[in-house]
Structure formats: C-alpha cells, structure tokens
C-alpha cells in the first residue's frame, strides 16, 4: 500500500516567495551567480519556458517562473516595477554584496552600517526585483513589543 504523502513536504516553509519574471532561465543564472542560489527543481513548458523553478539560498527557498499568459502573475516589467523587497540576511554581507553587483545588480541603497545595528544595502536585479542584503552588525537598541517603536540604548 502506498504511503500517503505529507501535506507539507520536508523543507517547505509556511510562506515561500514566487517571482514572475521575463526571462526565467536568465534569472536563474543571475541568482546563482549573484547570490549563490542553487537550482533544486525546474519544470518547463513544451515551448521551453520555465513554468516553475525552485531555488535554495542558505536555509530558504524561493520559486520563480516565466511570465505566462493567463496565469495572473505579471512580471515587474508589466507592472512598471515591483512593490516588494526580498531580504537576504547572511553572516558577512560584504561577501554577498560584491558578487551581486558584479553580476549586474544595480545599487539603489549603498551598503553601509545603519543606526539600527545592521550593515545594510539594497540592489535592483535585472528582472525588476529589489533585494535588501544585510548582516546584523551590533545591538543598537530594542523594539517595544506593544508599540512597535524603536528605543535606542541609553
């Protein structure tokens, strides 16, 4: 008797970002080169477009596919930009920053030490998505759990 599959497969988180792009094959190559992502699954349409791909980056996964007619998943180019920012937190952001920029990411917020205790910057990838790259650099204060207000250290 076959084993019933798990409703949530191992390694799948409660929420996973899925990016709709123009040029998914090129996007996969970019994310591999820029961020060190690993392709773990890809399904193509009969005409060779990427219908679905899963990439791993550190302990997380994200998905992407070509912008396909009738799928109700427009790319940033169709929308005139993307309203989301994808965050990547790593041990040493400087080691991630330079390859991302060398691969073609455009700096939109220069990498710098920020007042909230992070070394942080943002880049725009060639496919229209903004990525915030950061490492925690110091403990600078705390956020109040009731008011969501930042309280600097005294």
What is the pLDDT at residue 4?
87
Structural domains of the chain ordered from first start = 1-68 (3.30.720.120), 77-154 (3.10.180.10)
Task: Tell me, rounded to whole angstroms, the distance of Cα 102 from its chain centroid.
Answer: 17
Residues 118-136: tens digit of each pLDDT: 999 999 999 999 999 999 9
Dist. CA 145–CA 140, nearest whole Å: 16
For the record, the structure tokens of 9 come out as: 């497969």
Q: How confident is the model at residue 154 (pLDDT cuts 50, 70, 90)?
A: very low
Instruction: Say if residue 143's pLDDT is above 80.
Output: no
What is the pLDDT at residue 140?
54
**12-16, 22-26, 138-142: which is most confident:** 22-26
Q: What is the pTM of this model?
A: 0.84
In the chain, the DSSP E strands lie at 18-21, 38-44, 50-57, 60-66, 85-89, 106-113, 118-124, 130-136, 141-143, 150-152
Dist. CA 19–CA 127, nearest whole Å: 10
Instruction: Say if residue 60's pLDDT is above 80.
Output: yes
What is the pLDDT at residue 130?
98
Dist. CA 142–CA 83, nearest whole Å: 27
Beta-strand relationship, 60-66 and 50-57? antiparallel
What is the pLDDT at residue 40?
97
User: Average pLDDT of the chain?
Assistant: 89
Q: How confident is the model at residue 6 (pLDDT cuts 50, 70, 90)?
A: confident
């Amino acid at each position: 008797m076959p084993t019933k599959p798990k409703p949530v497969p191992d390694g799948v988180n409660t929420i996973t970002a899925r990016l709709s792009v123009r040029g998914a094959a090129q996007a996969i190559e970019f994310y591999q080169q820029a961020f060190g992502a690993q392709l773990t699954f890809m399904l193509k349409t009969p005409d060779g477009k990427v219908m679905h791909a899963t990439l791993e980056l550190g302990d997380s996964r994200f998905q992407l596919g070509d912008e396909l007619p009738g799928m109700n998943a427009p790319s940033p180019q169709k929308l005139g930009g993307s309203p989301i920012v994808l965050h990547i937190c790593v041990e040493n952001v400087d080691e991630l920053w330079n390859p991302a920029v060398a691969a073609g990411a455009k700096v939109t917020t220069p990498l710098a030490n920020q007042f909230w205790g992070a070394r942080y910057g943002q880049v725009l990838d060639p496919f229209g998505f903004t990525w915030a790259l950061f490492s925690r650099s110091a403990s600078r204060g705390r956020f109040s759990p009731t008011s969501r207000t930042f309280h600097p250290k005294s």
